[in-house]
Structure 1
């Protein structure tokens, strides 16, 4: 009798674009987790050696697969990864995300135990921020007060989430690939419109990069406005609450920006010449 391959339960999709500086650390957090069966890296036109790094890692770690998506935009890369991955559950993180050691097991255990949950999203802190301990302390305090808990939510964080393949297939045609909109918020709105449950999982931990905090406030405001456009694009009314949320987020960003402006993310220290890491795009 011929041998059969074990089923692929959890795939993790990682869209990439010029992530040579961080993709190795991201993948090293994933390959050792037995609960993760497949890691699909979708390169979206890198010119900095990202593809070569991933290809080399894939030789040593067969669960890594490298794909290429020529159409620009994270939504195109995400869609290619979602469609070509084989898992019943599809994780989604960014190339600068460092997941916790039980990340995969947490996704699988929750979706196995809660068949009505169609997607999950977790709690993220920073791994390269000079003031990241403030965010960690705030999250810890909110958890102790019961403000962060396992509960249904209306959004997903693209750097720390997972979705059932069946749910993705149900909403895929309703999602947008417009580069001027937020693809993770758009996906969450499509799930909500289809009455598919999203759960927030406090144990689903990941650390992300704070490098986008270097974005000038004027550019960040335009980026925040894309959230309102994403909501309107899915047919929802933009209400004062939505405007209050993005205004609060912008004020928080603006208050921190002077600190990040002189922070060198490569050397993890303050510098008068800190370099120019990636900032958040405002779309085309």
Structure 2
């Protein structure tokens, strides 16, 4: 079985980093390592990670510091370059991995030697109707989150790369100093430029926060424009459909519902990340043997 590193770039993620790490190490197959790469956090992110490591010395968690440059891309690159696994998983600090995520990712690359990048669907763990959300996201990613002749684009909150593939493109990926591109789509297009195979697995499931929907429409629109900016930076690649059109339709509803639902969770003293993990554990325990 191929071993899997998990890289988590972090900047001021004190609110969610403990839940993220708990989900990352409570797996059916333990990850090879979990690298939290702090990028000049000004809150208690580092202290929380250090406390987690002290309380869970058996967990393969390490805290790294990328202080030379502020930004997601240099922080992501630092972590990917430092990782030692056969496969490099990359998730966000507010992501909650399904309990069999590492096992699934290892299997995807182990069963397909040509696979160089992999991604899967996500659901909003801090919103209602998680299963419906997962089905909708799966539908979008299988049909529209593609480039060129239907080749898979990787999603930064839920993606993995074969270590050899990352070493091939590490010196080529865009630095995006103006911060106007989607760094995950950029990595995807660099892989495709080398003729590398990217795959989609419906079983590679991750929970993400809907907090991006709790922003102004101006901010949301600027975030959606990153798709166009990224493809314009790679004119040799193209796409038939625009995934962001679905997000524009969803934005008004999620923007209105998100703060209301957060108040409900708070009133009921529910940790949505913990709740999702337990629900998935029950599902795994009651599922037929694979």
Which category of TM-score, normalised to the shorter sequence, fits these structures?
0.7 to 0.9
Aligned residue for 1:111?
109
Please give the residue correspondences for 1:1-284 in structure 2 after superposition, counting only pairs within 5 Å. Answer: 9-33=3-27, 34-59=29-54, 60-61=56-57, 62-70=59-67, 71-130=69-128, 132-138=130-136, 153-178=151-176, 179-236=179-236, 241=240, 244-264=242-262, 267-268=265-266
TM-score normalised according to structure 2 size: 0.80
- Contact 2:122/2:158, CA 8 A, preserved across alignment: yes
Normalising by structure 1, what TM-score?
0.81
Provide the C-alpha distance between the structure 2 equivalents of 1:265 and 1:92, rounded to a whole number of angstroms.
Answer: 30
Between the aligned partners of 1:213 and 1:134, the Cα distance in structure 2 is: 17
Q: Give the paired residue count.
A: 256
Q: How far did 1:153 drift?
A: 3.7
Cα gap change, 1:196/1:230 in structure 2, threshold over 3 Å: closer, same or farther? same
CA RMSD for the aligned pairs?
A: 2.7
CA contact (8 A) 1:154 1:189 kept: no
1:222 is displaced (CA, Å) by 1.3
The CA distance in 2 between the partners of 1:246 and 1:123, in whole Å, is 15
- The structure where strand makes up a greater share of residues is 1
By how many angstroms is 1:259 displaced?
A: 2.3
Q: In the aligned structure 2, how far is the partner of 1:27 from the partner of 1:266?
A: 25
Over residues 28-64 of structure 1, what are the superposed CA-to-partner deviations in whole Å (9 max), with x where a residue is unaligned? 1122333411000001111110001111222323511
- How far 1:266 sits from its partner (Å)? 9.2
5+ unaligned residues in a row in structure 2: which ranges? 145-149, 269-290
Partner of 1:274: none
Q: How many angstroms does 1:262 deviate by?
A: 4.1
Instruction: Provide the secondary structure at the position in 2 that maps to 1:264.
Output: helix
Higher relative contact order (CA 8 A, sep 6+): 2
How far has the Cα of 1:119 moved from its partner? Answer: 1.0
Deviation, structure 1 residue 195 = 0.9
